[in-house]
Amino acid sequence: MHFGILGSGVVGLTTALELQQIFPNARITILADRFNEDTTSYVAAGIFRPGTSFTGPTKEITQQWIIDAFNYWDEIRRSKEAPLAGVCQLSGYIYSSTSPKIVKNHFLEQLLPVYRQATEEELKLCQGDWKYGSFFTTCLTECRLFLPYATKKFIAAGGQVTRHHINAFSDVAQHNFDVIFNCTGLGAKDLCNDQQLVPLRGQVLKVRAPWIKLAFYGDYDTYILPGFEAVTLGGCRQYDSYNLNVCKYDSMAIKERCCSMLPSLKRAAVIWETVGLRPHRAVVRVESEILHLPTGGIQKVVHNYGHGGYGVTTSPGTAKHAVKIARELLVGNSKL
Ligand SMILES: Cc1cc2nc3c(=O)[nH]c(=O)nc-3n(C[C@H](O)[C@H](O)[C@H](O)COP(=O)(O)OP(=O)(O)OC[C@H]3O[C@@H](n4cnc5c(N)ncnc54)[C@H](O)[C@@H]3O)c2cc1C
């Protein structure tokens, strides 16, 4: 059995590791044109927090993805691998001065060990006229650590990684892959001619502020998320923008909003500013497709893309589902 995985972001790598678990004797090759710091995954703050609009094919499947993903990250967090994989626990507050709906999250309320309404005193923990708030304890996965960790683990278990740009699925026909997993994120827009896939541009600042130990969310996409070495300040969500350059006005707005919540951040040195294009799709695409190649043959593909702003959160769950779909595609294949 030979599998190909297109993409080496958090979605491709979690799919590759799941595949090795389920098919320990298979040959598995990752093909991608960008790795580590050149991926969108690397830009993410990595907090486990699916947005309430996050949607898979059905309510039940979406819920299962989120449960499976949380269990995956939480198991690493509890293990000795946690510092190598870049997974830690993080607690914090989400506040709003406009609507109680913003601080509620039906996915997390059912799943996290702690997700509760903030008290009146807690609404005063950072500056602002906060009317509504929730406190929660979740996971954070820093892709700066997780991507190289997962790649190393994949190679140690016999996986192969090749740098290759793919213009069409037929480009990789010579590999004779039994199944290809399409984990190309925004790259799937061209590869699949998928008009539903849209970039949601995000910009963040990584600052040195070791005195910040809690996460804070405010209105208008404002967030302060402490990670392993830096604190991520965000953010913005610009629909259909392909601009990968850092915009100084976005940085100024982000700094102002974050410093108005926690004035001590004015003293934090900026380590780097960065931009990523979230691969947004109203319904995340995890499904199979049988492609008819120009050469006359067929190619089985399992798509796994379109995670938007929640790819770190949900990738282990969609990976599990994608591998299950591949198993079903291969039923009756004598090489199984
Ligand atoms: C500012 C910002 C903050 C974020 N914060 C969070 C967060 O806190 N929590 C969270 O869960 N998510 C967060 N996200 C979202 C998260 O980063 C994405 O959902 C996730 O990275 C998507 O992963 P991916 O593997 O699909 O895509 P990518 O990381 O973009 O990887 C795609 C891979 O496909 C390859 N590829 C694409 N096209 C081709 C091609 N034609 N040929 C060869 N290779 C190809 C690329 O080289 C790359 O290896 C954030 C995103 C941004 C921008």
* Domain ranges (residues) in the chain: 2-329
Residue whose CA is closest, atom 4 of ligand 1? 44
pLDDT at 238 over 80: yes
β-pairing, 179-182 vs 2-6, is parallel
**Ligand 1 mutation target, pool 15, 30, 34, most atoms within 8 A of CB:** 34
Report whether residue 235 contacts ligand 1, using a CB cutoff of 6 Å.
yes
pLDDT tier, 296 (very low <50, low <70, confident <90, very high otherwise): confident
So what's the pLDDT on residue 332?
Answer: 61
Residue pLDDT, tens place only, 223-236: 999 999 999 999 99
Cα 147 to averaged position of ligand 1 atoms, centre (Å):
11
Q: Is the dihedral of CA 183, 89, 226, 135 positive or negative?
A: positive
CATH 1.10.760.10 fits 2-329, yes or no: no
Residue pLDDT, tens place only, 27-49: 999 999 999 999 999 999 999 99
pLDDT at 259 over 60: yes
Relative to the CA of 11, which ligand 1 atom is closest?
25
pLDDT at 63 over 50: yes
pLDDT at 149 over 60: yes
Cα 276 to averaged position of ligand 1 atoms, centre (Å):
8
pLDDT at 260 over 60: yes
- Residues pairing with 217 in the sheet: 94, 223
Strand runs labelled E in 86-175: 87-96, 114-117, 132-141, 160-163
Q: Name the helix (H) or strand (E) containing 159.
A: none
pLDDT tier, 334 (very low <50, low <70, confident <90, very high otherwise): very low
Report whether residue 165 contacts ligand 1, using a CB cutoff of 6 Å.
yes
Asked if 44 and 143 count as a contact pair (C-beta separation under 8 A), the reply is yes
For the segment 259-274, the average pLDDT, to the nearest whole number, is 97
Relative to the CA of 184, which ligand 1 atom is closest?
34
CA neighbours within 13 Å on the CB side: how many for 142?
Answer: 20
Report whether residue 44 contacts ligand 1, using a CB cutoff of 6 Å.
yes
**Ligand 1 mutation target, pool 11, 197, 244, most atoms within 8 A of CB:** 11
More reliable by pLDDT, 159 or 172: 159
pLDDT at 316 over 90: yes
| Residue matched to tokens 């600042």 | 205
CA dist 146 to 80, 88, 218, 306, Å? 14, 11, 27, 20
- Residues pairing with 3 in the sheet: 28, 179
Report whether residue 226 contacts ligand 1, using a CB cutoff of 6 Å.
no
Least confident of 78-82, 105-109, 198-202, 293-297: 293-297
So what's the pLDDT on residue 173?
Answer: 86
So what's the pLDDT on residue 335?
Answer: 46
So what's the pLDDT on residue 246?
Answer: 98
pLDDT at 336 over 80: no
Residue percentage of the chain with pLDDT more than 70: 99
Phi, psi of 55 (to 5 degrees): -140, 130
Relative to the CA of 188, which ligand 1 atom is closest?
38
So what's the pLDDT on residue 132?
Answer: 98
Report whether residue 133 contacts ligand 1, using a CB cutoff of 6 Å.
no
So what's the pLDDT on residue 333?
Answer: 61
Residue pLDDT, tens place only, 167-190: 999 999 888 999 999 999 999 999
So what's the pLDDT on residue 201?
Answer: 98
pLDDT at 74 over 60: yes
So what's the pLDDT on residue 331?
Answer: 84
| Mean pLDDT of the residues in the chain | 96
So what's the pLDDT on residue 294?
Answer: 85
In this prediction the pTM is 0.97
Residue whose CA is closest, atom 3 of ligand 1? 44
